[in-house]
Every structure is written in C-alpha cells, then in structure tokens.
A and B are shown apart, each in its own frame.
Chain A
Amino acid sequence: MQRRRFIQSMAALAAAGALPFSLSPAFAAVSVDDLPKLEGELTLYLGRGEGGLYENVLKAIEERNPGFKLRIRRGPTASLANAILAEAKAGVKRADLFWAVDSGAIGMVTAEGLAQPLPADLTGQLHENFQFSNWTPVTGRVRTIPFNTDRLKAEDIPDDIMALADSDFKIGWAPAYASFQSFVTAMRILKGDKVTSDWLRGINKHAKKYAGELGVVMAVERGEVDIGLANHYYSLRLKSGKPDARVDLAFTRNDAGCLVNASGILALTEGDLPINFIRYLLSKEVQSYLAEQAYEIPLVDGVKPPEGLPNLALISPPDVDLTKLADLRPTIDLMRNVGIL
C-alpha cells in the first residue's frame, strides 16, 4: 500500500507546511534556478492543453531559456499516440517529446519500444510507485464521486464503488472518456472481467451518459443526476469559477473508485535536451503552478497538493501498477459488449 502512504503523507505535508518526506528516500523538488539552461529546439506532442494552463507553463520555460525554442503539436492524446506509432512505422520522426494526459496512451508508445530511457536521478524525484524507466508521470489525478450537495451528504455515499451498482442514485458518467476507461481497466485488474461487466450493467440501469467528465460534474451541480464518476479536478475547477456550486467530492476506499492515475511525459529522442526539459516539468515551480491553477496533484516531494481536495488522509487508493492500465483493448471490448460504448 505504498500509494496510500504517499497520499497520506501528502495530506500531512499540506497540514504541516513542507516537511521532508520521511517514509521514502525521495528527493525534494528541485527549483528551476538549479536546473541547466536549455539550448536548441524541441518538438513536443501535447495531448490536450488544459485551456492555456499547460501553455503558460511551456511559455514560462521558453521565457527562462532564450536560446530554447519549443514547437508544439496539440491534439487528443490518443490520436497523437496513433500518429507517433504511424510515424515510427513510416520512418518519419517529428516528435522529441510526448506529454499525454493519460497513462494508457503512454503505455501504447512505450510498448513499441519508442521511448528513450530516463536517468535515475530524474525518475528518483518522484515517489517510488511513480518511478518508471522510460517515462515519468507529471501530475496525478484521483477518481472521485462528485455529489449534489442539495440532495446528499458525504455520508450518504457508500465507500465501496461496487455498492453503487445496486444503489438508487441517478449516476452521471462518461464512458467514452479516457480516464473513465482507465478506471474500468483498474477494476478489471482488481476484480476480474465478470464482476466488472455486472457492475457496468448495474450502473447502466440508472446512469446518464455525458461526453466528458466536465459534463458529468456540471450535471451533478445542476441536479440532473445525484452523483457522478469523474476525475477530481473537474469539480475543483468548477468550484473555483463558481464558489457556491452545489457539488462536493466523496471517495471510495481501497478500490478502483479512488484510483490515482497520472499524466506523463516521455522522450522520443536521445540526448540531454529532452531530459532536461522534463526536469523543468518536475521542478517545484511548475508542480506548484499545476497544483494551484489546474488543481492537479503534484507528484514530487515538497509541493502542496491543490486546495479543496478534502480529507486526503482518508483516501486509500488501490494498488495498481499504472503501466498495466495501458491494457485498454479488453476494456473497450468489454464495455462494447455490455452496450455502454
């Protein structure tokens, strides 16, 4: 249960300011002042832009490094992953870096052996459950149950995700959304295909489908549904724009319902420049910015988690290897057979 300890200690950090992480020998976050200057040009494939927040980070990095030019290609994460695979097959090389919002897409690219190995001192900045040899998570997100505060209290929501299937709640979900599919993959890994299909069928009887999880959270807030299934930051962003929003977050315990997933970056080109660029993303400044502005969970030590993510000590995420979430195909087939895709 390394992950649980990690989240708990994050909560402790939030409470006590920035104490050194004592349980695991992780490095404290590096400040951009201590990072090597970037010189040259890189092409980044950026899966989704977070409405300017990632852009601001990239712009700031460019401003700090006058000799550095970043060329960006934006698109849906999956289609960029498809493009990288097709480019590799055709022997055309365009991207030096791939920043994906979903670890499943990362898995697709690493499985083809296209990702360059990363130095240990870079990956070592993250907690050990988030250390991988050829890619690195940038920020984390936790699966949550947003609920309408006019109708429900946190205590009304079961802390077992499986119990939702037999509940009376009207549930909003976005089965076509990548993070949701990763969550179903996690459930498959933890509970098996049969149980997962039954659960999906059960939910489907009293669920309403949305195009994305922002739509789910909005529907919860306006009372179209009682509860939803969504990544944590959508609710927090909605509340930041609308402080009296009628939505709050509930968490399940130790099951796929509170899976912690990550956005990640990998280098497709050898050399120091791509790796040093990644170092900037893991810097204290960038991690703090993404936590404060995008409400994402920072994954390096010594950076405060986003405001409004309550009771972090109570969250107990399941123990699932993030790279296994790339096993998406069986999930899609299962969801299609149940008839929800």
Chain B
Amino acid sequence: MKQWSPSYPLAFLIALIAVMPVAVLVVLAADSPQLFDTRNLEILSNTISLMLFTAAGAVVIGVPLALLTAYVRLPWSKFWLVLLAAPLAIPSYIGAFTLYAAFGPGGEIEQLTGITTPGFDGLFGSSVVMALYTYPFVMLTVRASLLSLDASLVNAARTLGMSLFSSLWSVVLPRITNGIAAGALLAAMYALSDFGTPAILGLDTFTRMIYVEYNSFGLSQAAMLSLQLLVIVGLILFIESRVKGTRERPGKALTLWPGRLRTSLMLLASMPVVLFSIVLPLAVFGLWLWREGAGGFELTYAWNSAYAALFAAIASVLFALPVAQAAIHGRFGRLMERVSFLGFGVPGIVMGTALVYVGLQFSMLYQTLALLVLAYVMRFLPLAVGAVRSTSERLDPSLVKAARLLGASRKEAFRRITLPLSVRGIVAGAALVFLEVMRELPATLILSPLDFETLATYLWRVYEAGYFGQAAIPGLLLVVISALALAIMFYGERWNQTDVLEEEPSVS
C-alpha cells in the first residue's frame, strides 16, 4: 500500500491557491446577464479552429525538425538546435505585429521591393503565426522522445530491407505519438490563452472578447467568458492526462550521416520557418529603428523585467517541487497537479483582474511585487512542474530506496539524491518560466507596483501610441534576454543527455 507523501499537504495548499482566481471569477460572473448566445457560438468556433490549426501547424513543422535535430549529424548541431528553437524567445505578439506590418498591400515588403504580397490576418494569419511560435514545443518534446528511443529497432527494420523513410514512419512514429501529442497540447494551450496575436490580426477569440468586455466595464461578462474558456482548458487538461508517457528500455539513439548535399538541402528546407519567425520580425524592427530612431527608453525597464522574471522563476520552481513530487507519488497528487495547471489557461488579463480583488482583501499585498510574482507563478507554474516532473520521473526510485536503507532520513534522501538529480529539470523549468514572464503583458499592466515599467509594458505603451520606432529597442532587448534564458534552458537540457551523447564518438 502506498503511503501518503509528505509533499501532499504542500501540493494541496498550492492547488488551493491556484483555484483562488477561479473562485473570484465565479463570484464576478454571478452578475452576468448572458450565459451563452449566438455570438458566443461564433467566438467558440473561432477559438477552437485557431486551437486546432495551431496544433496541426505546430506538428507539421515541429516533427520533421525534431527528426532533423535529433537524428541527423549536423555540422554545428548545437547552433541549429538553438536557432530552430529560437522562436521561443520571441513573443508571438511581436511576430504577429511585424508580419502584419510586413505583408499585404502597402506593407513593408511592398514598399521595399515593389512586390505585392497577400494580406496576413484573420484565422489564417493567426494560425500561421501561432504555429510559427509554438512549433518549438512540439520539436523539443518530440526530440526528447526520439532521443530516448533505442536505435536497434530501426536498425533491425533497415537490415530487413525497409527504406529509411518507411522505417521512420512505421517503426519510429508509433513510438513518439505521445511526445507529439504532448507538444501539440502545449501548442493548443498557447493558442487558447494568447491574447496579442488574435487581437492584432483581427480574430475574435475568447481572450480578445474578454479584453473587449473588460475594457468596456463588462467585468461580469468578462468573468463569464473566462469561465467558458476555462471549460475548454479543463478539457485539454483532461486529454493531456490521458496521454501516457511510454517507457522503453534506454539505448543509444539513432544517428544518421547523410552526405553534405543532402544535409544542406535539409537545412535549406527548414529555413523558411527561420525566415518568417525570426529574420522577418527582427528585420522589421531594424527598419523601424533606422527610420524613426530610438528615444525615451530607459535601461531600468529591462532591469525591472529581468528581476521580476527572476523572482517568478525561483518562486515557481519552489512551488513546483512539491507539486511534481506529489504528482509522481499517486493519484491524489496527480489531481493536485492538474488543478495547478488551470492557471496556464487563465488569460493574463483575467488573472490580473482576479488578483486585484484578492489583493484588495489583503491590502498590504496590493500593488506589491509579491502579488505580481504570485500572479506569474500561478500562470506559469505548469511549465515548471512539467520540467521538474519529467526529470524526477526518470529518476530511478531504487536510488532513494538505497539511501533510505543506508539510514538517510527522507529529508536527507531528497536533499542528497532527488534534488541533485533533478537540478537540470529545475534549471530548465526556471528558464522557461523566466522566458514567459519576460513577455507577459496584461497581468503586469494591472498588477505591477507603482512606477514599475517593464520591457513588455513599455512596448505596449509605444505601440498604443503609434511610435513604432521606439518599440524597436525594447523589442530587440526582450528577444536578446529571452535568448539568454533559452541558452540556459538548453544548458539544463545538455546535462540531460550527456549520459547518452558522450559515449557516441567511441562507438562509431
């Protein structure tokens, strides 16, 4: 019989905190006159379409790139991996805005080259942008599954006469469906909770409508819409909980050594993705900077962004540890983990509003950095939990048992065995939270302390007023700092794979 884990009470407390904004929403929504009407149906269908197209697009782009970066021996392989994961460092709203400005009649592309390009908006535009900025999730999760697969099955298939492609298709693909599903669900969650992209590209989704209602003093309608959105989020979480991680015996991962021409062709084929998601936005920023110049920017904004994000990253990891432990331990812990995931689907503006009401009940918290950090933690805790759990899960439980057998207390075993072995997951999780917090806008706007301007809020300020040139420097800084966090995340991931990769040169 399984014992109750000591992590349960803590996890329960954290889950309770995570439910708090939902409770506030229920109270606020009680005043709403409309439960659901035909307009909601349209919003619902837009939201679901965007979610499905985003997930599909992310899979179509992400899976081949995962194969490329996991199995093909590339020159400067680390560089290509970072480059292909770099869209993570660019907030999708920046992508949406720059792509929107670049394409279409009269857009920047037409002004520079004279070639008229089709406009870029609506469901199509939003789906493309969201797919371009969420595919790294699919790529990274699938790549992790690919690297955990033993190559001997593929080798066996190939010695038995199967071509490379069909062996990948029928031997590898069935074993990574869970990885694909996990990545696709992450992409879907993103599409559900993102506000900037559909707002800029003119697609009426739940998040945009929540924002519109909120800004027209329809607080109760906004709360009602948020609850409806949460129902969809809950559904996705349920599906996600059905996706089981496969356990295979570890082995050396497949390595392919294609010729120089083929390697170049494969890399060339992946370049359009890099072009649209990274080069174009940076080029448009550069153009605006050149045309309109910087101005009015203060470095404190970057500093504010960075340390708020750092606090949030540390706090998220501290919160994530007990939740992840509980989730590994048993069913009740799994449930706690699911509950804490709700925050991921609460749009920032809703989280901000709910926490204003919570903060006002405890007025010493109101408008403090602590409350803002709490909002970040509640929103991005799932990212940290996911990263911590995935490393802790792979931990061999017999190590802890051995330590306990040798007389170590529970605490000591955790400190000396579990923690050091989960460090890479913790680092990766913290970096991921850092990335997200850096770009978070709506909750920051509502909850930040007085005189607290971040890169994202400054960007919003100049965008609203129409001074694009001034958006260039903070935009580029945001990308650079995010890229650093991304590098740290990969550093964490590298530890993750040293055990597999380091042996390779001697084998071949």
Contacts and interface: CB of A to CB of B under 8 A. Distances in A.
A binds B: yes
Interface of A: 43, 48-53, 55, 71-79, 81-83, 86-87, 89-92, 94, 108, 176, 178, 181, 208-212, 214, 221-224, 234, 237-238, 241, 328-329, 332, 336-337, 339, 341
B296 A51 contact: yes
B472 to A, nearest CB: 13
B261 to A, nearest CB: 42
A221 B461 contact: no
Given A51-B465, A181-B216, A221-B106, A94 B367 contact: yes
A238 B258 CA distance: 53
Nearest first, the 8 closest Cβ-Cβ pairs linking A and B are A222-B106, A51-B465, A90-B360, A52-B296, A51-B467, A78-B215, A214-B466, A51-B462
Interface string B485-499: 000000000000000
B360 A241 contact: no
Q: Is the interface of B mostly helix, strand, loop or mixed?
A: helix
Contacts of B296: 51-52, 55
Contact of A224 (B119, B366, B367): B119
A332 B298 CA distance: 38
Interface string B61-75: 000000000000000
A292 to B, nearest CB: 16
Interface of B: 39, 42, 104-107, 119, 199-200, 202, 208-209, 211-219, 292, 295-296, 349, 352-353, 356-357, 360-361, 363, 366-367, 445-446, 448, 450-451, 453, 457, 461-462, 464-467, 469-470
A78 B466 CA distance: 19
B443 to A, nearest CB: 11
B464 A212 contact: yes
Contacts of A75: 445-446
A211 B199 contact: yes
Given A90-B363, A176-B212, A339-B39, A50 B217 contact: no
Nearest to B209: A341
B363 A92 contact: yes
A221 B106 CA distance: 8
Contacts of A241: 292, 469
Contacts of B202: 208-211
B363 A72 contact: no
Given A90-B361, A222-B106, 11 more contacts: A51-B296, A71-B450, A73-B448, A73-B450, A76-B445, A78-B215, A78-B217, A87-B366, A208-B202, A223-B106, A329-B218
Contacts of B217: 78, 81-82, 108, 328-329
Contact of B216 (A208, A224, A332): A332
B470 A51 contact: yes
